[in-house]
């Protein structure tokens, strides 16, 4: 049995583990696609505003809630929230903070397992000499379990089991194991990302030729970075930006609170939360935007990128493009790419596993091994149907509520609890206890009014997304007395982890 006072080994370990939690597949696969689909430079301003007005306040809130809970020996949101508010309702609300992780991890680990098998395929030269279509088909056949890969039709399920097993094993070794993985994985990830980003930034139109007539990497970079103000009034862009901020910072899920509950009681959380949040933003904005988009534009042109922007590009297009750099550097690039995705993925899936284990520890006194194994079983039960029956999309409805709506709902409720029920003065004191920096006082006001208000806006806009996401049509229809034609299941899924699912259900076809 572990001691009640288990904590992170060092400040570096804490920051790397938290940064590893945040930096994930979302930074490299989701962010570029969201940016392109929402107008490139038009996306960036709402994205940064959401980071400042929702992302940072939620980081402050979740780190504070977590460390507060850990002080009284609680490591899961049901117990922590219960200890902060009088109503017994908070305990049930806290269940969100376990459940959502399990729901998301079921997909997430599957994608992580693709990155793993793609490392292997890069190493053994599977993609060498393949045409663009062949590389793309390879992926589709893989996810359709049609036996093309090593002749084993259920290979994807086996690889999934293996990767899940690795996660279970690491989780069973406790915080120490998580810290070790983050200490190795995060620097490597940044190194690999830098190698690829350097290519992305410097290839320009070097590859323009008969084979790649419209090749120009700069166009990709300019498209992402030239601010456009025209779509600032488009709710769709704002929702996508808010969703990306939620997903990429891992807020509204319960995993930050759980990690934070293992912080020593006098350890700074103000600076550390910012350090890990900004690390995530660096990796997302600087590295995440410098790889897939410019490299794809550098060969296939910006028009191709805009027409094909999707989660699948990473697996269906990149291995083909890397080959153009010659056998040796092509392989290095492939290893960098899938290696960085794997590290990004695993440090995040570990984070999604801990809230369940924390709860089992709080509730039944279960140790790490039992906790990790039981997590694995649940993840497996939820994940296998996704793999085996993904083409039927039955997971959709469930996922929509569990993995998407609940994120925003939970963030809103915990914010209300923290700043209104627990109280802003106490909350501010909690956040600043042991702080190594002075947070601008404006944040007290932002956290109390601006963040909850924005969360309410996001939630309502997401729930009442009009049919076909046609906001101006719906608004004028409303004014004209035709009522609001909303699409019950649309935008909320686009707001958060839509792409994970999209990847499985649509892009792969
Ligand atoms: N933030 C991670 C990413 O960008 C995803 C994640 C969400 C991880 C919630 C943990 C908890 O991919
Ligand atoms: Na992220």
Q: At what angle do helices 96-123 and 77-84 cross, to 10 degrees?
A: 150
Determine the pLDDT at residue 243.
Answer: 87
103, 382 contact by CB (below 8 A): yes
Atom of ligand 1 nearest to the CA of 22: 1
Which residues sit with their C-beta closer than 6 Å to ligand 1? 21-22, 24-27, 247-248, 250, 253, 255, 348, 351-352
Q: Where are the domains of the chain?
A: 11-464
289, 35 contact by CB (below 8 A): yes
75, 362 contact by CB (below 8 A): yes
467 CB-near residues (< 8 Å, 6+ apart): 474, 485, 486, 487, 490
Ligand approaching nearest to the C-alpha of 256: 1
Ligand approaching nearest to the C-alpha of 348: 1
What are the C-alpha distances in Å from 346 to residues 9, 23, 105, 474, 491?
A: 20, 10, 10, 41, 28
CA distance 407 to 254: 9
State phi, psi for 466 to the nearest 5 degrees.
-70, 160
451, 252 contact by CB (below 8 A): no
Determine the pLDDT at residue 177.
Answer: 97
Long-range residue pairs from 112-115, CB within 8 A, at least 24 positions apart, any chain: 112/25, 112/163, 112/341, 112/342, 112/345, 112/346, 112/349, 113/156, 113/159, 113/160, 113/162, 113/163, 113/164, 114/142, 114/143, 114/156, 114/159, 114/315, 115/25, 115/338, 115/341, 115/342, 115/345
3-state DSSP helix/strand/coil percent for the chain, to nearest 5? 75, 0, 25
Ligand 2: centre distance to CA 240 (Å): 15
Q: Which residues of 404-433 are buried (b: 16+ CB within 10 A; e: fewer)?
A: bbbbbbbbbbbbbbbbebbeeeebbebbbb
Determine the pLDDT at residue 476.
Answer: 72
The residue contributing the CA closest to ligand 1 atom 8 is 348
Among the listed residues 238, 309, 234, 240, the one whose alpha carbon sits nearest the alpha carbon of residue 470: 234
The residue contributing the CA closest to ligand 1 atom 9 is 250
Determine the pLDDT at residue 402.
Answer: 60
Q: Which CATH class is domain 11-464?
A: mainly alpha
Residue 136: how many other CB atoms lie within 10 Å? 18
Mutation choice for ligand 1 from 19, 55, 109, 247, CB with most ligand atoms inside 8 A: 247
Determine the pLDDT at residue 229.
Answer: 85
Q: Is the dihedral of CA 154, 160, 166, 169 positive or negative?
A: negative
Angle at 395 between CA 34 and CA 389, to 5 degrees: 105
Three-class SS state of 6: coil
Mind listing the pLDDT tens digit for each residue in 327-370? 999 999 999 999 999 999 999 999 999 999 999 999 999 999 99
Among the listed residues 49, 27, 61, the one whose alpha carbon sits nearest the alpha carbon of residue 415: 61
CA distance 464 to 400: 14
Three-class SS state of 466: strand
CA distance 387 to 381: 11
Ligand 1: centre distance to CA 11 (Å): 21
Structure tokens at 224: 């992402």
Residue 226: how many other CB atoms lie within 10 Å? 11
CA distance 430 to 462: 32
What are the C-alpha distances in Å from 36 to residues 48, 296, 502?
A: 16, 12, 16
Mutation choice for ligand 1 from 25, 26, 51, CB with most ligand atoms inside 8 A: 26
Determine the pLDDT at residue 496.
Answer: 42
Mutation choice for ligand 1 from 351, 408, 499, CB with most ligand atoms inside 8 A: 351
CA distance 309 to 292: 10
Mind listing the pLDDT tens digit for each residue in 413-447? 999 999 999 999 999 999 999 999 999 999 999 99
pTM for this structure? 0.91
Atom of ligand 1 nearest to the CA of 348: 8
The ranges of the chain with pLDDT < 50 are: 1-2, 394, 488-497, 503-504, 506-509
CA distance 39 to 387: 32
Among the listed residues 134, 125, 129, 118, the one whose alpha carbon sits nearest the alpha carbon of residue 324: 129
CA distance 388 to 33: 26
Mutation choice for ligand 1 from 17, 18, 19, 22, CB with most ligand atoms inside 8 A: 22
Determine the pLDDT at residue 477.
Answer: 72
Long-range residue pairs from 205-211, CB within 8 A, at least 24 positions apart, any chain: 205/298, 206/298, 207/298, 207/299, 207/324
Structure tokens at 507: 């892009």
Ligand 2: centre distance to CA 289 (Å): 13
CA distance 335 to 282: 22
Q: Is the dihedral of CA 157, 258, 451, 42 positive or negative?
A: negative
- CB-neighbour burial class of residue 370 (10 A; exposed 0-12, middle 13-18, buried 19+): middle
Atom of ligand 1 nearest to the CA of 25: 12
Ligand approaching nearest to the C-alpha of 26: 1
């Amino acid at each position: 049995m572990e001691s009640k006072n288990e904590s992170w080994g060092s400040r570096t370990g804490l920051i790397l583990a938290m940064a590893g939690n945040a930096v994930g597949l979302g930074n490299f696969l989701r962010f570029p696609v969201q940016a392109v689909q929402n107008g490139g430079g038009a996306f960036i301003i709402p994205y940064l505003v959401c980071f400042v007005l929702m992302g940072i306040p939620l980081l402050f809130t979740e780190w504070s809630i977590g460390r507060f809970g850990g002080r009284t020996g609680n490591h899961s949101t049901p117990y922590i929230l219960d200890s902060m508010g009088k109503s017994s309702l908070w305990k049930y609300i806290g269940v969100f903070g376990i459940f959502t992780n399990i729901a998301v991890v079921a997909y997430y680990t599957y994608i992580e397992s693709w990155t793993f098998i793609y490392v292997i395929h890069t190493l053994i030269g599977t993609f060498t000499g393949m045409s663009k279509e062949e590389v793309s088909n390879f992926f589709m056949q893989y996810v359709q379990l049609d036996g093309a890969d090593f002749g084993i039709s259920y290979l994807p399920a086996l690889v999934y089991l293996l990767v899940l097993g690795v996660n279970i094993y690491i989780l069973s070794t406790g915080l120490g194991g998580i810290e070790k993985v983050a200490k190795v994985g995060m620097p490597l990830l940044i190194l690999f990302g830098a190698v690829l980003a350097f290519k992305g930034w410097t290839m320009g139109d070097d590859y323009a030729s008969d084979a790649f007539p419209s090749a120009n990497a700069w166009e990709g970079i300019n498209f992402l970075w030239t601010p456009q103000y025209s779509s600032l009034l488009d709710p769709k862009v704002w929702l996508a930006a808010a969703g990306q901020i939620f997903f990429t910072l891992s807020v509204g899920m319960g995993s930050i609170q759980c990690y934070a509950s293992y912080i020593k009681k006098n350890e700074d959380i103000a600076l550390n939360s910012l350090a890990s949040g900004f690390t995530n933003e660096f990796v997302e904005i600087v590295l995440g935007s410098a790889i897939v988009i410019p490299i794809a534009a550098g060969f296939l042109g910006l028009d191709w990128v805009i027409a094909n922007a999707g989660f699948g590009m990473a697996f269906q297009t990149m291995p083909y493009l890397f080959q153009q750099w010659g056998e040796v550097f092509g392989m290095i690039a492939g290893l960098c790419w899938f290696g960085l995705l794997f590290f990004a993925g695993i440090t995040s899936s570990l984070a999604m596993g801990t809230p369940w284990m924390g709860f089992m520890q709080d509730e039944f006194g279960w140790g790490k091994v039992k906790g990790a194994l039981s997590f694995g079983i649940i993840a497996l039960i939820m994940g296998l149907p996704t793999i085996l029956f993904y083409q039927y999309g039955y997971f959709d409805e469930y996922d929509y509520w569990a993995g998407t709506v609940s994120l925003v709902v939970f963030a809103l409720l915990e914010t209300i609890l923290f700043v209104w029920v627990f109280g802003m003065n106490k909350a501010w004191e909690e956040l600043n206890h042991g702080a190594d920096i002075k947070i601008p006082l404006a944040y007290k006001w932002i956290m109390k009014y601006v963040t909850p208000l924005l969360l309410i806006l996001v939630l309502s806009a997401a729930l009442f997304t009009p049919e076909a996401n046609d906001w101006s049509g719906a608004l004028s229809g409303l004014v004209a007395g035709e009522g609001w034609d909303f699409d019950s299941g649309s935008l909320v899924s686009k707001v958060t982890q839509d792409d994970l699912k999209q990847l499985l259900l649509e892009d792969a076809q």
